[in-house]
Structure 1
Amino acid sequence: MPTPLTHDDPHTFGSYRPIVRLGSGGMGTVYLARSAGGRTVAVKTMLAGIASDPSARTRFRLEADAARVIGGRHGALVVDADTQAETPWIATEYVLGPPLDEAVGVVGSLPEATVRALGAALCGALGQLHSTDVVHRDLKPSNILVTAYGPKVIDFGIARAIGDDRLTRVGAAVGTPAFMSPEQASGEEHTSAGDVFALAGVLVYAATGRGPFGHGQTADLLYRVRYGEPDLSDVPAALVPLLGRCLDKNPFRRPTTSELAAQLHDGSGEFADHLSDPLLAEIGRRATEVWLITPQRLDAPITQHAESPTAPTATMPRRRLLLAGSGLALGAAAVGAGAWAWSRRSGSEPHLPVTSPSNSVLPRKKLDSLWQIQVADSPYGTVPAVEPLAVGNLVTLVAGAGLGGIDARTGDVLWASDQMEIHWQIATDGERLVRMVAAEGSENNAGKPGGFPLILASVNLVSGKAAEPFAQFTDFNGVMDYNQVLCTADGVVYAAAGQGKYDTYFLTSQSWSLFAVDISTGKRLWTKPLPTRPDKSDRLYFLTARVVGSNLVALQETNDGKVRVVVRDIRTGAVRWEKPFDGVAPDRVQRPLATDSDTLYLGSGRLRALRLSDGTQVWDSRTERPGRTYGPPTVIGGVVYAVEKGLGLVAFASGSGRAQWEEKGGGGTKADTSAAPVIGTDCAYSKRSSALWAIDLASRTPTASYKTTGDRFIAHEKAKVTIALGGKFLAAFPLK
């Protein structure tokens, strides 16, 4: 997702002017740029400090050479470059199509016909590269752009000539662990056969939505690539034998790119003929979207933040240290406190008004964020989703190297941890922050028989440090990655934890339980068993949970990937009732639940109201509004608010489900149904494209628009702000 330029980004690259950032990392930045004549390009740069290393500069020059070799048919055409500049840069055509990983994320796993056509085309790209004795060495879904005319391979940052080891440290594994070849994972010579291995991994991902060796910590992935068997269980049956040959540990038994292409596809038809309608629509959307992007540049920081105190004294488990040292998985470049990356944006920058589909121009006023800081990704990825938490006067968030505390009114970073906290092991009741803490000594032996105790502690909101633990349990293995804090309320913490041998996946030999702990005494109030997870499962038991009265209300993912509503008695843990939440993907409902004192409201499809006491359906939106689709709801003051696809914000009476009013003005036709609306006293806030719109609750019309990269939004009642997270930025907007 594009993000604004920083105040110190270059103003030109040759004849090209940067408009926004497309991505940034520890090596450099990629920009969207345009020439005076309107030509749009992608400009990749290398940080000046890194460019001072002769070998790094040589790599960058070779990257430009490799991109020229593969050319515009199979790659992004190089249109200009200056690899001798103080900040070296390469300008290529801007490819009109999504990266393969994003395409799969939007439309789902690709059909066999698409996978075959994609694979054959990629064989052609790699074959052309290999014909010049160059190997890619980092083929992965994010380095493949899907266009209507065929895939294009990009990012040749570690490509090199076969047999040339001058730019590779002996014994070092260079590349992306999930898509490495075994020989590459061992630091050995990576030949064209290694690219074939990586290509097979890419095709498994395209067909199933996951890599052949799963995901997890770097060391675990490298081990599975070298010694484990690939998981081809969901690959179309006709492709299994062929991809299995490509994933052979012995490079000499793998087919060549020409052999593979011949067995994948006969070359008939145009590439677009083999693409699904949703994928073609996504390509078309991307092609249109690039022309709607306007230049954005942040102001210079107002103040510099000194380094914060370090967070909890408890040590990191071994698997977290491996990740911290790998340098392969962290997000944005780090400056300031810990490994967080900050930049400040005030509300003073001029902002262009947004025009709604009805051509009514919103009032010209300051429409920028109240504050904005740049944040890195969570060290444990984004599945499940990372959510900002409102606690006291703070917003807390796991990013970069760990948990951080931000003043919700000002955006000042008050403290930042470097303890690699896991974001699903932290919860708040709005006033207290509770987390699981790693036991001392667990960094050296996460697989110790019997494990280490499970430790729970509160977080000091002034320093960010973990307080003295209030509970320790030796019958749970505290180093299990999938241990989870569901929620906390009324002085009780609700959590799930496992017993048995540690592994990067769930194991059928493990046993798992849900339990409640009294914070004041540290005593366990009750424990209830959870169903056994199958081997190699990596999905958490609980998607979201909250306490309502005497009920623990949760959405729980089953072993077959479906969602169930489960309501328990908070006093005993006994299940009061449960029923399926049909028609939703688990990842779409990892959001706070919408409830009032006696009813649960479910969206992400049709809207439903279920009585908390017994699960009886109170009303269903299909009764009065059949065929309509809604996002997740928000309920407040006896009114249920939700975004209706193609219409915008709609308000329903909570008791009857009857629509009370609809948004006016036509501005909601492109409203985002993935996020619940945030409701203030006078306005509701809803995402539309790259802006957060304010809808006046009295007139039911949009009154303001705020440019944002966010895709997750929460209300911070104390600070009177709407918090937005997404696109590597945390920002605050008005809550009126």
Structure 2
Amino acid sequence: MPSPLTHDDPVALGPYRLLARLGSGGMGTVYLGRTARGRTVALKTMHARIAADPDSRTRFRLEVDAARVIGGRYGAQVVDADPHAETPWLATEYVFGPPLDDAVQWNGPLPEASVRALGAALANALGQLHHSDVVHRDLKPSNIMVTAYGPKVIDFGIARAIGDARLTRTGAAVGTPAFMSPEQATGQEHDAAGDVFALAGVLVFAATGHGPFGQGQPADLLYRVRYGEPDLGDVPPALTPLLARCLAKDPGLRPTTSEIASQLHDGSGEFADHLPDAVLSEIGRRASEVWAVTAQRMAAPTEGSPPPAPAEGSRPPAPAKPTPVSRRRLFALGGGVAAGVAAAAGGFWYWRDQSGAGAGPGGQGEYADNGASAKRTTGLAPLWKVSDRNRQHELGPLVPHPVPGTVLMDQGGLAGLAPRTGAAKWGVISGAGSWQYAVANGKVYRIEEPNPDVDQKHPPLAIHSVNSDSGGTLATVARLSDSNGSLRGNQLLCVADEVLYLAVGDGADPPSGAGEFRASQKWTLRAVDGRTGKTLWTRPLPSRRNDSNRLHFLAARVVGNRLITLQEREEGAVRVVLHNTRTGAVSWEAPYSVDDPETVREGISADTSHVYLGAGQLRALRLSDGRQVWSSRPTHGYGETYSPPTLKSGVLYAVVDGAGLVAVDPRSGKQRWAEKSDTPGNAFVTCRPVIGARFAYYKNGVTLRAVSLASHTAARTYVTSGEQFFGDEQNGIVIAVANNYVAAYPLA
């Protein structure tokens, strides 16, 4: 738990201002740090006397490398590091959850379901290390952090490459005696099988509250590890055979990590579902407390005064055992969990394909907003969620196109979901990527995938209209003879006034396994009459290099007689290009500087006079000539980046890193109000906010926040693993999507 800085602790390390101590030991100190933008990290350092030793510095560098290998999926994501600094340091995400030893101390031994889930995830974590030829060598309960999304392995201080003995003295036992392998206890080679032995010891501890070889002096423990039989008397009987094999003295008799994972758990359900309520409460408490930490420093001791800080290696007393809370309340305090944790939610644990009944009328989906007195409810579950672990997208993101009574999704093809339950209304129409269908006035259009067994080698591109209730084809809207309909780079950009705007290619298909484009192909931007199928105009597009996978357009929208497009050049540069809808002529174009083009793929905000750009500074361009009317940078003193904006009812909304949601006057660019946020450091600026009648929605940490447009405070938060969010006003839901995950939340 955080404790005040001492008088001689540094003020900052790199770009990180130090706020508190998280712990200190013989090798160094771990601090809580925060950037100017509000990102919170854990900073591990080496004591000066240790840093002076070249071998210790080498160990620290290897620790950094091992932490990068395991990554944020099973460990604390490495954010930054400088192993060559005068005081070497390593910055990782701050992990929200207790160490396993503390969790067992507060809650008692974990139930069998928890042990199985924990063991399977840890086995996968070790497997990832071992596949990179790295062994941990010090796996123990205090080096395992328990989070709502799975365990995270930390502290790679004595990890090393398999077979590398340069930093190990012959005959020296390095590690923690109670969880050492027999070969490690005698100073011999500790390979992947040694980590398996330690994993079994950890699971025995989790299931019983004690290690397999008891307690005592290090020499006694080392003797029992080498020659004694493990104490498995309190282990659940169903786990005993597997753990006994893992604890075999002969490394060759121990199972592999993949075998352990498969025997312990099938990966179903959310990891949090398998944890006791008291552990979940502690995770939520820690997630809340870290944002309240401010820098406090003890005064320098006067002569004869007692030392102001605990002795090195000591741990603060454990807090009182937390009061259990329901799972729905788990994240009541956790609205500020860091983005790194959210990324980890898509790791080892998967949801199986499912649809769940959620909040209906009068249930959790219904709530009232009374301005400043709006009821605050946090940590809510989605109305429904479904997943497809096999889904992969190649060229475009997962972008829903809602129509009344149906939610259209790209699930490896076009699929229709019921908006109230998420259940499939009709199956996938293969081949229709999200960039190859569009919706206008309740009608659905899609580019047909040619049948290679029936169609000729280069079939013409065909556009069909689709029945949104059944998924059946209604009619062929157009068939373009001077095109190659089998090219996956063909795009249906948008439809307006029954005119279809497309990026169309002609030329040879790329070789199997290559990118989607070839330099010899010819690409055009076209307008096609959806009533007659005739091409109204055609404009050439630049060629793509061989093997490129980048589509020509990120987004498009028609406003009046203007087609506004975000066009991506081959080199990755994005430009706003405005075409006349009658002739296709380019009226003007302007550069759009964005770090990641994918962040602006969700759509375009514009009115009859201006187009509004974010993903950096917020600015307005005049539609008549492309001139910049105003630009705005955050005024709150934290970040510098706005999300792509959303225009609704004459107000421009955006998310700002370090501040949360802001509302801006679209005529002047002046800020009208900013969210009264208690977790400013975790606002996601990679997708634009969703605006309802009473609430604005955006992602903050692992939550979707519903911010009252009246009180400017978060009235509700929902637990989410989504990465993109879209408003479906027709069906009254917010849709959250990730690579293999779809969920719905109430839109109000």
The TM-score bracket by the shorter chain reads 0.5 to 0.7
- What is the DSSP-based 3-state SS (H/G/I as helix, E as strand, rest coil) of the residue aligned with 2:435? helix
- Which residue of the partner structure matches residue 648 of structure 1? 660
**Distance (whole Å) between structure 2 residues aligned to residue 376 and residue 34 of structure 1:** 30
Report how far residue 64 of structure 1 moved.
12
- Which residue of the partner structure matches residue 723 of structure 1? 735
Read off the aligned partner of 1:374 and give its amino acid letter.
S
Worse-matched range after superposition: 554-563 or 412-421 = 412-421
- Which residue of the partner structure matches residue 614 of structure 1? 625
Report how far residue 562 of structure 1 moved.
0.8
**Distance (whole Å) between structure 2 residues aligned to residue 651 and residue 69 of structure 1:** 49
Read off the aligned partner of 2:135 and give its amino acid letter.
H
- What is the DSSP-based 3-state SS (H/G/I as helix, E as strand, rest coil) of the residue aligned with 1:540? coil
Q: CA RMSD in A?
A: 4.6
**Distance (whole Å) between structure 2 residues aligned to residue 445 and residue 97 of structure 1:** 59
TM-score between both structures, scaled by the size of structure 2: 0.54
Read off the aligned partner of 2:669 and give its amino acid letter.
G
Which residue, out of 480, 485, 494, partners 1:478? 485
- Which residue of the partner structure matches residue 454 of structure 1? 461
Q: What runs of 5+ residues in structure 1 fail to find an aligned partner?
A: 1-20, 23-31, 47-60, 81-91, 99-119, 128-151, 157-287, 299-330, 336-340, 352-359
Read off the aligned partner of 2:663 and give its amino acid letter.
A
Structure 1 contact 563–585 (Cα < 8 Å) conserved: no
Report how far residue 552 of structure 1 moved.
0.9
Read off the aligned partner of 1:497 and give its amino acid letter.
V
Report how far residue 467 of structure 1 moved.
2.6
Which residue, out of 370, 378, 381, partners 1:368? 381
Report how far residue 431 of structure 1 moved.
1.1
**Distance (whole Å) between structure 2 residues aligned to residue 444 and residue 97 of structure 1:** 59
Report how far residue 412 of structure 1 moved.
3.3
Relative contact order, higher structure (CA 8 A, sep 6+): 2
- What is the DSSP-based 3-state SS (H/G/I as helix, E as strand, rest coil) of the residue aligned with 2:430? coil
Report how far residue 528 of structure 1 moved.
0.9
Report how far residue 719 of structure 1 moved.
1.9
Report how far residue 589 of structure 1 moved.
1.4
Structure 1 contact 552–567 (Cα < 8 Å) conserved: yes
Read off the aligned partner of 2:459 and give its amino acid letter.
F
Structure 1 contact 346–372 (Cα < 8 Å) conserved: no
Larger Cα-atom Rg: 2
Q: Alignment identity in percent?
A: 36
- What is the DSSP-based 3-state SS (H/G/I as helix, E as strand, rest coil) of the residue aligned with 1:411? coil
Structure 1 contact 455–469 (Cα < 8 Å) conserved: yes
Which residue, out of 702, 705, 711, partners 2:714? 702
- Which residue of the partner structure matches residue 10 of structure 1? none
CA spacing shift, 1:73–1:439, aligned 2, 3 Å: closer
Q: What runs of 5+ residues in structure 2 fail to find an aligned partner?
A: 1-72, 75-96, 105-113, 142-149, 167-190, 196-282, 289-323, 329-347, 365-372
Report how far residue 680 of structure 1 moved.
1.2
Structure 1 contact 565–578 (Cα < 8 Å) conserved: yes
CA spacing shift, 1:429–1:64, aligned 2, 3 Å: closer
Structure 1 contact 33–42 (Cα < 8 Å) conserved: no
Pair 1:552-2:617 in alignment: no
**Distance (whole Å) between structure 1 residues aligned to residue 632 and residue 601 of structure 2:** 22
Report how far residue 471 of structure 1 moved.
1.1
- What is the DSSP-based 3-state SS (H/G/I as helix, E as strand, rest coil) of the residue aligned with 2:599? helix
Which residue, out of 591, 599, 610, partners 1:599? 610
Which residue, out of 505, 515, 531, partners 2:542? 531
- Which residue of the partner structure matches residue 567 of structure 1? 578
Matches within 5 A, 1:24-173: 38=103, 43=117, 73-74=134-135, 94-96=152-154
- What is the DSSP-based 3-state SS (H/G/I as helix, E as strand, rest coil) of the residue aligned with 2:153? coil
Read off the aligned partner of 1:95 and give its amino acid letter.
V
- What is the DSSP-based 3-state SS (H/G/I as helix, E as strand, rest coil) of the residue aligned with 1:502? coil
**Distance (whole Å) between structure 2 residues aligned to residue 388 and residue 97 of structure 1:** 42
**Distance (whole Å) between structure 1 residues aligned to residue 625 and residue 401 of structure 2:** 30
Report how far residue 579 of structure 1 moved.
1.0
> Which deviations, in whole Å up to 9, do the C-alpha atoms of 1:165-221 show, x marking residues without a partner?
xxxxxxxxxxxxxxxxxxxxxxxxxxxxxxxxxxxxxxxxxxxxxxxxxxxxxxxxx
Structure 2 contact 391–740 (Cα < 8 Å) conserved: no
- What is the DSSP-based 3-state SS (H/G/I as helix, E as strand, rest coil) of the residue aligned with 1:38? helix
Structure 2 contact 565–576 (Cα < 8 Å) conserved: yes
- Which residue of the partner structure matches residue 393 of structure 1? 405
Which residue, out of 414, 436, 453, partners 1:425? 436
Report how far residue 44 of structure 1 moved.
8.6
Report how far residue 429 of structure 1 moved.
2.0
**Distance (whole Å) between structure 2 residues aligned to residue 584 and residue 65 of structure 1:** 34
> Which deviations, in whole Å up to 9, do the C-alpha atoms of 1:624-666 show, x marking residues without a partner?
7897321111111221111121111111111111111111243
**Distance (whole Å) between structure 1 residues aligned to residue 683 and residue 125 of structure 2:** 40
**Distance (whole Å) between structure 1 residues aligned to residue 442 and residue 431 of structure 2:** 23
**Distance (whole Å) between structure 2 residues aligned to residue 290 and residue 511 of structure 1:** 58
**Distance (whole Å) between structure 1 residues aligned to residue 459 and residue 285 of structure 2:** 51
Structure 1 contact 408–721 (Cα < 8 Å) conserved: yes
CA spacing shift, 1:469–1:79, aligned 2, 3 Å: farther
> Which deviations, in whole Å up to 9, do the C-alpha atoms of 1:349-406 show, x marking residues without a partner?
x99xxxxxxxx9973578322222223454434x43211211223211011x522111
Structure 1 contact 453–474 (Cα < 8 Å) conserved: yes
- Which residue of the partner structure matches residue 162 of structure 1? none
Aligned residues: 458
Read off the aligned partner of 1:713 and give its amino acid letter.
F
**Distance (whole Å) between structure 2 residues aligned to residue 638 and residue 397 of structure 1:** 29
TM-score between both structures, scaled by the size of structure 1: 0.54
Read off the aligned partner of 1:373 and give its amino acid letter.
V
Worse-matched range after superposition: 578-587 or 371-380 = 371-380
**Distance (whole Å) between structure 2 residues aligned to residue 363 and residue 333 of structure 1:** 29
Report how far residue 519 of structure 1 moved.
1.2
Which residue, out of 495, 500, 506, partners 1:488? 495
**Distance (whole Å) between structure 1 residues aligned to residue 387 and residue 695 of structure 2:** 27
Which residue, out of 535, 543, 553, partners 1:542? 553
